[in-house]
Amino acid sequence: MQAACSDSFIFSPPSVFKEKRILQKVTSAEHPFLVSLYATFQSENHLFFVMKYLPGGDLCHLLEHQGAFEESKAMFYTACIVLGLEELHRNNIVHRDLKLENLMVDVHGYLKIVDFGLSKDGFRYGDRSKTRCGTNCYMAPEIIDEMAYSRAVDWWALGVVLYVMIMFQFPFDAEDDMELFESIRNDKPALTEELSEEAQCLILRLLEKNPCHRLGSSEAGAEEVKAHEFFEDIDWEEFLEREQMPPFKPDVSGLTESTRQSECQAWGLMPPAEAISPEAQELFEGFDYSAE
């Protein structure tokens, strides 16, 4: 599933500096469910973002290895995302590419939202955008139809993530993109009787086709989502302090500095297709940054 943004080249200098700026803003908030940026630097051919190491991998990887989550486990991860989105929206940032691959597990077992390459800052309640952005399976209907959309697109994407965690499949699927978009526009996600009424209700409220009626779309935003009965057992203040027991904690007992270095060396770096010109290098002047 490839993320894309229609009206700009994702890796253009302006978008790179925009992502850096958003990451700096997110890092300054010191929020437990948002990734932190430590530094940025560059070599002759590459740009580097140094961020918090998250050894648990992403939710996609976790689901592939563990299968569908029980509701209590899905509730835990969903609560992490809700609090992360609450902080982003409080800081006038809309993520626009919330998906399993952009939700990673830290050393303690908590989720962090990562990858702000398609995010937009300065986006307040009531603001609208028409940029077609995101990953197809997670796109809200209003993005597909190129209508002016609000921060409610993030709550739609959360609905997709929750559905996949519990059902182990996407709520809308098809053979090609055209069929997928038609399904997103018109189909109701299939739910089983095995799901609690609260889980079914939350999924349907988040996957509401009309963004004005979607849970979280009001000015109350995340507070509206947090008040849903699916989260009845969640103490939000306690959760924000990370005092809840995570359902899974990654095993880092064999992880040392040397193993991390060997992993990085094994991956290596892709050489550029062609040498970067001095003129292009100048476009990235001022990219280097350190949080300390």
Extents of the domains making up the chain? 3-53+270-290, 59-240
Residues of the chain with pLDDT under 50: 1-2, 6-10
Contacts of residue 119, Cβ cutoff 8 Å, sequence gap at least 6: 19, 22, 88, 93, 94, 95, 96, 97
Helix, coil or strand: residue 210: coil
Q: How far is CA 49 from CA 38, 108, 116, 173, 237, in A?
A: 8, 22, 12, 34, 31
Structure tokens that stand for 177 in this block:
């993109």
Going by the DSSP 8-state scheme, the letter that residue 58 receives in this structure is B
pLDDT of residue 30: 93
Give the predicted TM-score (pTM) of the model.
0.91
Superfamily of 59-240 according to CATH: Transferase(Phosphotransferase) domain 1 (1.10.510.10)
State the angle between helix axes of 59-66 and 152-167 in degrees (0 to 180), rounded to the nearest 10.
20
Nearest-CA neighbor of 102 among 130, 122, 80? 80
β-pair partners for 282: none
Residue 192 and residue 122 in contact, taking contact as beta carbons nearer than 8 Å: no
Give the residue from 83, 91, 158, 165 showing the smallest Cα distance to 124. 91
Task: Output the pLDDT for position 273.
Answer: 65
8-state DSSP, 242: T
Active-site annotation holder among 7, 58, 97, 251: 97
Q: Is 97 a catalytic residue?
A: yes
Give the architecture (CATH level 2) of 3-53+270-290: 2-Layer Sandwich (3.30)
